Amino acid sequence: MFVHWGLYKIPAWHEQILWRGDMTRSSYEKLIHEFNPVKFDPEAWLDVAEEAGIQYLCFTTRHHDGFYMWDAALSEYKITNTP
């Protein structure tokens, strides 16, 4: 199972919002101030995946928007700088 999850989920679109959507890069980058995944429950996600028979999971930790889903030393554009 491929899990693509990041800032682009706030406007309820997919990761192509900058290229196919109607959003500017500067507007998109402001979403970092809204991204607050306090309800993220990886155990629940894994339980559902296991029930569906999924044996492998690939989590996109940095997509082409440049947003890091970990505390990267190379950038301030990362999940640890969100609310």
Domain chopping of the chain, boundaries: 2-81
Structural contact between residues 5 and 15, judged by C-beta atoms closer than 8 angstroms:
no
Integer Cα distance of 41 and 72 in angstroms: 22
E strand residue ranges, 1-83: 2-3, 58-59
Instruction: Supply the pLDDT for residue 18.
Output: 86
Q: What is the DSSP string of 13-28?
A: --TTHHHHSS--HHHH
- Rounded to 5°, the CA angle 42-61-59 comes to 50
Instruction: Supply the pLDDT for residue 7.
Output: 92
- Taking the chain (83 residues) in runs of 10, the rounded mean pLDDT of each run is 89 86 92 92 94 94 91 94 93
Instruction: Supply the pLDDT for residue 16.
Output: 86
Q: Which two tokens stand for residue 76?
A: 């301030």
Instruction: Supply the pLDDT for residue 34.
Output: 95
